[in-house]
A and B are shown apart, each in its own frame.
Chain A
Amino acid sequence: MTDASHPRRAPPSPWRIVTLDEHVRPTDSQPAAMRRRWRALARLLRSEDPDQAHARAETELRSLPNVRLEHLAPALDWSAAAEALASFLRDESARPPDASHARVRVLVCPPHCAHEQILAHWAARHGARILDLPDEADVLADTPRWLESLPPPPTDDRDARPWVLPRLERCFLRHAQGLTLLRSFLAAAFSGRLGPGLIGCDSWAFAYVQRIWPLPAGVALTLQGFDGSALAEHFIRPFCSGVHAVEFRSARSGKPLLPEPDSDGEDRDAAIAPELRQLAAHVRGNPGLAWHYWRERLRSAPQARPAQDGESGTAPSAADTASRGMTLGEDVVWLGEDIAPPGLPADSGDDHAFIFHALLIHRSLPTALLAHLLPTPEPRLQSLLLRLEALGLVARDGGGEAERWQVPPLAYLTVREFLRSRSYLTDAF
Chain B
Amino acid sequence: MLEDSPKLAGLFNSLDRSAWIEIAAIAAVAVLLVRASQRALPWIANRLHGRARHYLLASVPLLRLVLIVIASGLILPIVIEPSLRNMVALLGAAGLAIGFALKDYVSSLIAGVVSAFEQPYRPGDWVELDGHYGEVVHVGMRTVSLVTVDDDTIIVPHLKLWTSAVRNANNGSPVLQCAANFLVHPQHDARRAREVLEDVALTSPFLYFDAPVVVSIAEETWGTRYTVRAYPVDPRQQYRFVSDLTVRGREALARIGAEALLPQVSVLS
State yes or no: do A and B come from one complex. Answer: yes
Check: B196 CB closer than 8 A to any chain A CB.
Answer: yes
What residues on B are CB-neighbors of A357 within 8 Å? 205
What 1/0 flags go to A415-429 for Cβ under 8 Å of B? 000000111110000
B203: CB under 8 A from chain A? yes
CB pair A350 B240 closer than 8 Å: yes
With contact pairs A421-B48, A422-B49, A423-B174 given, residues A178 and B203 touching in the complex (Cβ less than 8 Å): yes
User: Is B255's CB within 8 Å of the partner chain A?
Assistant: yes
A-B Cβ contacts below 8 A, count: 53
Contact of B251 among A176, A178, A374 (CB under 8 A): A176
B240 contact from A178, A375, A423, Cβ within 8 A: A375
Tell whether A211 is near chain B: CB-to-CB under 8 Å.
Answer: yes
Question: A residues within 8 A CB of B199?
Answer: 176, 179
A421 with B49: CB separation less than 8 A:
yes
A184 within 8 A of B: no
Which of A176, A211, A354 is the one whose CB lies under 8 Å from B200?
A: A176
Q: With contacts A422-B234, A423-B174 known, is A375 near B203, CB below 8 A?
A: no
Closest chain A residue to B196, Cβ basis: A176
Say yes or no: A374 contacts B205, CB within 8 Å: yes
Report Cα–Cα, A174/B174, bound state, in Å: 24
A423 touches B49 (CB 8 A): yes
* Complex contacts, A424 vs chain B, CB 8 Å: 233
A-contacting residues, B118-132, CB 8 Å = none
Given the interface pairs A211-B209, A421-B50, A423-B49, the reply to whether A179 lies near B233 with Cβ below 8 Å is no
Render A347-360 as a binary contact track against B, CB cut-off 8 A, 1 for contact: 00010011001100
Interface residues of A in 173-225 (CB under 8 A from B): 174-179, 211-212
Mark each residue of chain A from 297 to 341: 1 if its CB lies under 8 Å from any CB of chain B, else 0.
000000000000000000000000000000000000000000000
Q: A176-B196, A177-B255, A350-B240 are in contact. Are A423 and B203 (CB under 8 A)?
A: no
Measured CB to CB, the closest approach of chain B to A250, in angstroms, equals: 35
Complex CA gap A357/B205 in Å reads 8
Q: How far is the CA of A373 from the CA of B205 in the complex (A)?
A: 8
For the side of the interface on B, what is the size category?
Answer: 20 to 34
Query: Which chain B residues border A375 with CB–CB below 8 Å?
Result: 205, 240, 243-244, 247
Task: Give the CA-CA distance A375 to B243 in the complex, in Å.
Answer: 10
Q: Does B248 make an interface contact (CB < 8 A)?
A: yes
- Cα-based distance from A178 to B209 in the complex (angstroms): 18
Asked if B202 contacts A422 (CB within 8 A), the reply is no
Taking a contact as CB atoms under 8 Å apart, the answer to whether B234 and A423 are in contact is: yes
From A174, which residue of chain B is reached at the shortest CB distance?
B203
Task: List chain A residues, Cβ under 8 A from B233.
Answer: 422-424
**Chain B proximity of A299: nearest CB distance (Å):** 35
Whether A176 lies near B205 (C-beta < 8 A) is no
CB of A176 within 8 A of CB of B248, answer yes
Docked CA distance A331–B145 (Å): 67
User: Considering the chains assembled together, what is the distance between the CA atoms of A180 and B255 in angstroms?
Assistant: 14
A178 to B49, CA, bound (A): 30
Residues from chain A with Cβ under 8 Å of B41 in the complex:
none
Say yes or no: A422-B205 contact (C-beta < 8 A), given A176-B248, A179-B199, A350-B240.
no
Contacts of A176 in B (CB 8 A): 196, 199-200, 203, 248, 251-252
Interface residue B37 (Cβ < 8 Å from any Cβ of A): no
State which of A354, A422, A425 has its C-beta within 8 Å of the C-beta of B209.
A425
Q: A423 touches which one: B50, B200, B244 (CB < 8 A)? A: B50
Measured in the bound complex, the distance between the Cα atoms of B252 and A175 in whole Å is 10
In the bound complex, residues from chain B placing their C-beta under 8 Å from that of A179 are: 199, 202-203
Does B86 count as interface, using CB distance less than 8 angstroms?
A: no
Task: Tell me, yes or no, whether B55 is within 8 Å of chain A by CB.
Answer: no
| Chain B residues numbered 206-232 whose CB sits less than 8 Å from any CB in chain A | 206, 208-209
Inter-chain contacts of B181 with A (CB < 8 A): none
Complex: A424 Cα to B174 Cα, angstroms: 13
- CB proximity to B under 8 Å, residues A379-411: none
B255 pairs with A422, CB closer than 8 A = no
List, in ascending order, chain A residues with CB within 8 A of B243's CB. 375
The CA-CA distance from A353 to B49 in the complex, in Å, is: 12
CB closest residue in chain B, given A358: B205
Q: Residues of B at under 8 Å CB distance from A?
A: 48-52, 174-175, 196, 199-200, 202-203, 205-206, 208-209, 233-234, 237, 240, 243-244, 247-248, 251-252, 255
16 contacts between A and B (CB under 8 A): A174-B205, A176-B248, A179-B199, A211-B209, A350-B206, A350-B234, A353-B205, A373-B203, A375-B205, A375-B240, A375-B247, A421-B49, A422-B234, A423-B49, A423-B174, A424-B233
Task: State the 10 A-B residue pairs at the shortest beta-carbon distance, nearest first.
Answer: A423-B50, A354-B205, A422-B49, A176-B252, A425-B209, A176-B199, A423-B233, A174-B203, A176-B200, A375-B244
